[in-house]
Structure 1
Amino acid sequence: MNTLSLIASLTLLATSSGVHARTQDAAPLKGAIKIDGSSTVYPITEAVAEEFNKSEKKVRVTVGISGTGGGFKRFCAGEVDIADASRPIKKAEAEAAAKSGVEFVELPIAYDGLTIVVHPKNTWCSSLTLADVKKIYSASGTAKLWKDINPTWPAVAIKVYSPGTDSGTFDYFKEVTVGKDGAIRSDISVSEDDNVLVRGVAGDENSIGFFGCAYYFENKEQLKAVGIDNGKGVIMPTVDTIENGSYTPFSRPLFIYINKASAARPEVEAFVAFYLAHATELVNEVGYVKLPAAIYAKVANNWKLRRIGTQFTTAAGDAVTTPLAQAYE
């Protein structure tokens, strides 16, 4: 297909899916849009809000970072219009939304690669197995010193950093490392703000922490990424390994959830349409990984149809773990 044909096809897809830019002569929008949730998704949504406000100056968009869990609490109570989430909505949260009369549209918007990092002067730890990570982070873990992982490593205490318990990143990490019923050790430094975690690890040569890949990519000079050996060799978090799924189990989709009632307001409808129309460029700009074009087409269509409910949580309440291309319809 030549370039002109490709552009025409993409334009037709965007228009038919309800994702299009407002014309310059359209009447200015007014109102306020309240968003809260994941600090991982925050850079994407904040970038979208900034670009949106360049043309829609009378719409006030506020983006909070109370964590995925904290954002869902407010969203399910009808207090905010949109929830940023670094994990799918939980069964209990969906039930709370239903109890409050909140119907929602679930939209994947990017890939993230949860990244484990250490200080750049840490010359001994370049990769870890999942069993090693569990030894460090599990409440029953035995790794308190670096030498507890490898006897040739220093006999110094590991300073452990983690997102807080309201964080979707924390939930995801916990489930894939220590299990749904496991527990993370309590003697760690936590924050819902990933920038605080970045500063913590960057300031301590014996530290370890984890957060979304964008915070690592943005702070490469202050941090060192740790490769993950999941039994198939060491895999580093890169755009390619995150997108193709080989960075398993830490490659994951990121979401926004929109209150269906809020979506009836012109400013919210326009904001979400703008979000989807500009997702590919802004996702990459802030350091995350864009979804395949076929997935974005499904996202746009589900938004156009206002498809309510989740496709990523089973009836039993478990997170769907199949690849995004298979799980999302």
Structure 2
Amino acid sequence: MKNWKYFMMTTMVGSALALGACGDDAETTEKETPTEEVTTDTAEEPEAVLEGDVSGDGSSTVAPIMEALVEEYAAVQEAVKVTVGVSGTGGGFERFIAGETDFSNASRPIKDEEKAELEAAGIAYTEFQIANDGLSVVVSKDNTWVEDLTVEDLKKMWIEDGTTKKWSDINPEWPAEEIVFYSPGTDSGTYDYFDEVILDEADLVKKATLSEDDNVLVQGVQGDKNAIAFFGYAYYLANQDTLKVVKIGGVEPTNETIESGEYSPLSRPLFVYASNKALSEKPAAYDFMKFSLENAGEMAEAVGYVKLQDAAYEKGLADLEAVK
């Protein structure tokens, strides 16, 4: 755009000079008017290039949104390097508390003990909600018997009670086959949320395969008709050709039921917690967070989560501006 503007300005000036030189040579005046030198300043100040490193870590559930934001941001600010780890919500907070990251992604609200540790470390922070999620319970497409489960069914299945869990224990009409469990790891905010609303802090079944990597859970369920797992809605959508989502209390997770809260109790908010020091002292960190809040809704929808109301993002931007 700047080259085009420069071309138009120099063309217009050149035309004006040419027209001034095209008078009739035969017509002269006794006293020539001195010609004023025409000068134009077409040089533009070069735009400042934003540079720096920004680091984050945390929730694997938030990761698809953040990865999309990082990719889009790289096209806007090529000299800023943003790196984001996926060690789970709890693991992300550990690094955040240690002062190793500028922001931490979380699929649950920050815990009181984490708040206390941040305060003790002298780290002030700001909470930004970026999207909503519906924690999704899934089975294999080859599972032909499970369509709907209640919260009580989930408790009976997932809480350790010393027995071998079989599908027929939940419904006598279902196969007398052992249930194979796949769960997010204990550092995951998804695990924490499930623990809060389903397990009531009781022990998870001991035979469950745990992983911080949701793709491991997806692959486990895909390959076993007796398997069941839970993880973020986006991971279900990305694999819905090979997975079947289970209704909870007759309600299927969709954008509409998650946003309205009808998909209860497994609808939940997703967060980014950012260091106030990084936001105020690192222009790249502030700029990336501003870009994230301005584009989080679009990116959330693009990767399969549910965007917030515009007012929520406007509040986030106002909170961000207050920190600067």
Secondary structure of 1:28's aligned partner: coil
Query: In 2, Cα distance between the equivalents of 1:86 and 1:26?
Result: 38
Query: In 2, Cα distance between the equivalents of 1:146 and 1:274?
Result: 47
Structure 2 counterparts to residues 168-179 of structure 1, below 5 A = 168-179=189-200
Q: Which residue of 2 aligns with 1:55?
A: 76
Q: Which residue of 2 aligns with 1:266?
A: 283
1:222 aligns with 2:242: yes
1:246 aligns with 2:262: yes
Q: CA deviation at 1:73?
A: 0.4
Q: CA deviation at 1:306?
A: 2.8
Contact 1:110-1:254 at 8 Å conserved across structures: yes
Structure 2 counterparts to residues 133-212 of structure 1, below 5 A = 133-140=154-161, 144-180=165-201, 182-212=202-232
Contact 1:242-1:289 at 8 Å conserved across structures: yes
Runs of at least 5 residues in structure 1 that lack an aligned partner in the other structure: 1-24, 308-329
Q: Which has the larger radius of gyration?
A: 2
Tell me the TM-score normalized by structure 2.
0.84
Secondary structure of 2:129's aligned partner: strand
- Read off the aligned partner of 1:114 and give its amino acid letter: L
Contact 1:202-1:223 at 8 Å conserved across structures: yes
Secondary structure of 1:261's aligned partner: helix
Q: CA deviation at 1:222?
A: 1.0
- How many residue pairs get aligned? The number is 278
Secondary structure of 2:110's aligned partner: coil
Contact 1:135-1:142 at 8 Å conserved across structures: no
Q: Which residue of 1 aligns with 2:98?
A: 77
Query: In 1, Cα distance between the equivalents of 2:177 and 2:48?
Result: 63
Contact 2:294-2:313 at 8 Å conserved across structures: no
Tell which has more relative contact order, 1 or 2 (C-alpha 8 A, sep 6+): 1
Q: CA deviation at 1:294?
A: 2.0
- Read off the aligned partner of 1:45 and give its amino acid letter: M
Q: What are the Cα deviations for residues 105-160 of structure 1, in whole angstroms up to 9, with x where unaligned?
A: 00000000000000001110001001110111101275711000000100111000
- Percent identity, aligned pairs only? 49
Q: Which of the numbers 152, 157, 173 marks the counterpart of 1:131?
A: 152
Q: What are the Cα deviations for residues 174-222 of structure 1, in whole angstroms up to 9, with x where unaligned?
A: 1101113x22122110100111111111111110000000000111001
Q: Which residue of 2 aligns with 1:275?
A: 292
Q: Which residue of 2 aligns with 1:89?
A: 110
Moved over 6 A (4+): none
Contact 1:135-1:141 at 8 Å conserved across structures: no
Q: Which residue of 1 aligns with 2:49?
A: 28
Q: Which of the numbers 253, 267, 279 marks the counterpart of 1:237?
A: 253
Runs of at least 5 residues in structure 2 that lack an aligned partner in the other structure: 1-45
Query: In 2, Cα distance between the equivalents of 1:177 and 1:196?
Result: 22
Q: What are the Cα deviations for residues 30-53 of structure 1, in whole angstroms up to 9, with x where unaligned?
A: 111111000000011111011101
Q: Which residue of 1 aligns with 2:25?
A: none
Q: CA RMSD in A?
A: 1.3
Tell me the TM-score normalized by structure 1.
0.82
Secondary structure of 2:205's aligned partner: coil
Secondary structure of 2:253's aligned partner: coil
Q: CA deviation at 1:266?
A: 0.5
Q: Which residue of 2 aligns with 1:284?
A: 301
1:41 aligns with 2:62: yes
Q: Which residue of 1 aligns with 2:130?
A: 109
